[in-house]
Every structure is written in structure tokens, then in C-alpha cells.
Chain A
């Protein structure tokens, strides 16, 4: 069930954008207030609750012993999934993951996997037989735009405080070693204006969306363009530059 946006709101947001403003008074390159609570859930090996403005996401990391994939016998396993639970929005329905949920999970996964945020080679217990399996489960609780970033920050924060339950093998539990810190920053294109961290109103009327994940060296680790519109190359460059700059500030907050 999608919500109908009054046409006048679409015009209103475009008009604001043309005069350098946004509905919530933010600057174009300003993100909403970010609140991170690590170790939110005791039953998870790692967890974090992230509030980005009014978007509220809970991410849990579960780690357990399992079998490796046959083609990577000495490597741990990482699996990411997202549930956009119906309570988070009138437009989320119960059922198997929607394409939106699948896309969010896969983009967050790529950011973490491609960065080798966690070195999966180090998660081998017995080659070809036993490895550590990590499940990252993203649970959207309240949706006010920009799930990509909220989910990504939650996943990185949850990993950063996760403990490998080595006590299951008679050893001591230890902190999951983080090797890199990918931070994703999403921008939306409204007319000719590009805004960072779109809220729900902006997301609903945006033509196009671009998520860019950078690492602590400013290198690119993942990108995803979404929605039906398009970007010009100069716009892409601008988005990358903003993502790196904004990403640095957010990385500090998550590492804290």
C-alpha cells in the first residue's frame, strides 16, 4: 500500500530546493541527528540501535560455528538480511523480503564485504570443516527515509562491539577484529538539487538516489544508484566528494 503524496508537496519541496532550502531546515549537505546505542540486545553477539533523524533501525549480529562454503573452505561466512517490519511504516507489508529489503541488505553487505571490514580469512576454526558464521540482521523499526545509511551504520556499529563466542569451543570469547570502517552516505536528486540523507518526504519525490561507501582512506568501496531518474557525471563526482567528507564525521561517531 503506497501513500499518495499531494502534488502540492512535491512542488513545495522543489521550490524550497530551488531557493537553497529543505523541509526540515537542513543544509543540502547536512545529515540528521545520529544516535547510536551499541550492545542494545543481549541475546546477540553484537548489536546496535541507530536513529538517523526519525528513522530507527536495530541491527543484530549473531555469530555461531558452522560449515564453510565449498568454494571458500578456509573462510568464515557473512550473511546479511533486512526486514522492513510492517510496524515501521504504513507502506511495509508482512511477508517475504520485498525488493526494497533485499536491495538494502545486499548494498549493506557489499559495503562490509568488499571492505573486508571483518577479515573472513581470520574466522576459520578448522580448515574445510568449521568456521565462524556471521549473520547480520537489519530490523527497521520506524521509517522516515534513508534506510541504506541507517542500516549500514547499524551494521558497522554492531560489528564493532561484537564478541566471537569462542567459549563454545572451550576458549575465551574475544572481540571481533575490525580492519576497516566503511561508511555509506546516501544522496537524493530533487530536480537539479542534490541533498544528503534524504528524509521520507524527500525520498518519496526524488528522481534518483546514489549511495556511496568510502573507507578511512577516502577510497570507494561500494556504490548503488537507485530510483528511476539519472545523474550526470559532475553530479556523481559531487556526491562522492560529499560522501567522503560527511563519511569522515560519521566514522568518528561510530568508532566512539
Chain B
């Protein structure tokens, strides 16, 4: 590892012309591709390629929460399990949750709890699984972005899709969407997730060193990028379902029932 550090420090993560090692400018996202509904067994699923990240997200639910003592009589639980496959990283990761995965699972669960209409399904659980197949930094953002699509694919009622991305600082410059080398040798990284329509931040973490001004610059970059990411999420869902629209009969039954108790938020 010492050899590599030595070499990278000689290289500039971002040069005088504002060009990064992979050719991107400070405000450019890595290429992103999202596909909805790629698994058969799960109620909803999505696959995302984000730069060199490859992440699969799947949703089961709402389904009865087990064990019974964990059920909430007033609402659905939102339980996310973020996991990295052993071969997803350069130095093999031992199978099973480590402390980092447990923490990421928790903050992602909490992000979605804000948008899912949990009160419509008491005593159940909405189970979200995020599996990182190939990692290149920003996996929690990629996973959360894919999980939003998977939740919609599963028909889970939500206020909105959630888009997620990270910004940080490399070579003294605030930049969007750090890859692995930039994250390892940069000065700060700040993942965040935002509810598209309302702009509410449902996930926010930071590690490293930023002045307040730098932090606000970073958040501006992320917020703008999140709008582009939302469009990709939306397109993935429309692509999956556009053809069904024409064949559908009128909804069955008489006057549609109003949703359970949600009004004037």
C-alpha cells in the first residue's frame, strides 16, 4: 500500500485545468445506468451501474414482520440490509455484516422511513436488500438510489422517490461524486440523500475536513446532481412499464377508496 500512496501523491487528483484523474470536471457525475424489475422472486428490484459500482437492490413487502415482538402495531417497519459481496472489493471482504454495513443499513432504513407511507401497513415489514457486487466508492448512494426504484417497482406507497449522491474535496477543490481513489486520498466525503419534490434531506453524513463554505458548495453540487439522478430513476420505471398502460381495463369496483388517513401534510 505504501508504494501506491507514494505514487498517487505525486499525481494530482485534480489538475490546474480542473480535470480529474478519470477526465471528469469538478461537477460531473460518473456514468449511471439504472434498470428496474430485473429479479423474478423479489416484489420489486433494480440494478444500477454507477461508474465502476454495480449494485443490486430488491424489496420484499409489505409482509408480516417477524419475529412478532418486533412488529409495530401502528405502522410498517422499514428494514434495509446493505451488504457487500466478498468479491466486490480489491481485498476480499469476509462474508457477513461488519460494523460499517450495519451502520449503512441503519441510515438507509431511516432515510426511507421518511417517505414510505408506513402507517398504511401496521405490523408488517418492508424489507429492502442492497447488495454491492462491485465497489468503487459511493456504494451507499448507488444502493439508496437503486432501492428507491425497487420500492416503486414493488408498489410500495411513498411520498416521492429519493435520490442520493456524494460530494467531497480533493486536492483542495470541492468535487461531485468521488470515486475510490479520490475518496481514499481526498480531504472529505459527504454522502447525502434528498426527497426530490420537497428537497428534504433524509441522509447526510460527512467525514474529513471542510470549511462551512466548502460544505455548502458541496451540498449545492449534490443537490443539482440529485435532480439528474431523479430523472434516471424515473426513466427506468417508465421504461419498464410503459407498454402496460394501453392494455389496462378501467379500475375495478365503484368509487375508489381514499387513502388511509393521509391528508394536508
Determine the distance from Cα of A204 to Cα of B92 in the docked complex, in whole angstroms: 34
> B48 to nearest A CB, angstroms?
14
Contact call B39/A141, Cβ cutoff below 8 A: yes
B86 with A81: CB separation less than 8 A: yes
Q: Determine the residue in chain A with the shortest Cβ distance to B58.
A: A87
Q: How far is the CB of B255 from chain A (nearest CB, A)?
A: 34
B-chain residues with CB within 8 Å of residue A97 when the two chains form the complex? 95
Whether A56 pairs with B39 at a CB distance below 8 angstroms is: yes
A43–B95 contact, CB under 8 A?
no
Within 8 Å CB of B83, what residues of A?
Answer: 85
| Cα A41 to Cα B127 with chains together (Å) | 26
Interchain CB contact under 8 A, A144 and B41? yes
Q: Are A87 and B95 in contact (CB under 8 A)?
A: no
Q: Flag if B92 contacts A62 (CB, 8 Å).
A: yes
B164 lies within 8 A of chain A by Cβ: no
Check B217 for interface membership: any CB of A closer than 8 A.
no
- Interface SS majority for chain A: mixed
Counting contact residues on chain B (CB < 8 A from A), the size range is: 20 to 34
CB neighbours of B39 from chain A (8 A): 56, 87-88, 141-142
A residues within 8 A CB of B60?
A: 86-87, 90
List chain B residues, Cβ under 8 A from A47: 87
> What residues of chain B lie closer than 8 Å to A135, measured between beta carbons?
86-87, 92
Q: Is A94 an interface residue (CB 8 A)?
A: yes
Q: How far is the CA of A141 from the CA of B55 in the complex (A)?
A: 12
A94 touches B92 (CB 8 A): no
Question: Does B85 contact A137, Cβ atoms closer than 8 Å?
Answer: yes
Instruction: Please state if A58 and B133 are interface contacts (CB–CB under 8 Å).
Output: yes
Q: Which B residues are in CB contact (< 8 Å) with A43?
A: 87-90, 134-135
Residue pairs across A and B with CB atoms within 8 Å: the count is 82
Q: How long is the Cα–Cα vector from A60 to B133 in the complex, in angstroms? A: 9
Query: Which listed residue, A56, A61, A90, touches B87 by the CB 8 Å rule?
Result: A61
Task: Choose from A64, A89, A96 the contact partner of B41 (Cβ within 8 Å).
Answer: A89
The answer, among B45, B54, B63, B95, for a CB contact under 8 Å with A81, is B95
Q: Are A41 and B54 in contact (CB under 8 A)?
A: yes
Which residues does chain A contribute within 8 Å of B86, judged by CB atoms? 60, 62, 81, 135, 137
A37 to chain B, nearest CB (A): 12
Interface centre among A58, A61, A141 (most CB of B within 10 A): A141
Question: Which parts of B53-73 form the interface with A (CB within 8 Å)?
Answer: 54, 56, 58, 60, 63, 66
Asked if A14 is at the interface of the complex by the 8 Å CB criterion, the answer is no
Given A56-B39, A143-B41, A96 and B81 contact (CB-CB distance below 8 Å) = no
Task: Point out residues on A near B: beta carbons under 8 Å.
Answer: 1, 41-44, 47, 54, 56, 58, 60-62, 64, 81, 83, 85-90, 94, 96-97, 135, 137, 139, 141-144
14 A-B contacts (beta carbon < 8 Å): A1-B66, A41-B54, A44-B87, A60-B85, A62-B87, A62-B92, A85-B83, A87-B58, A87-B131, A96-B96, A97-B95, A139-B85, A139-B131, A142-B41
Per CB-CB distance, the 5 closest pairs between chain A and chain B, nearest first, are A60-B87, A87-B58, A44-B87, A87-B129, A62-B92
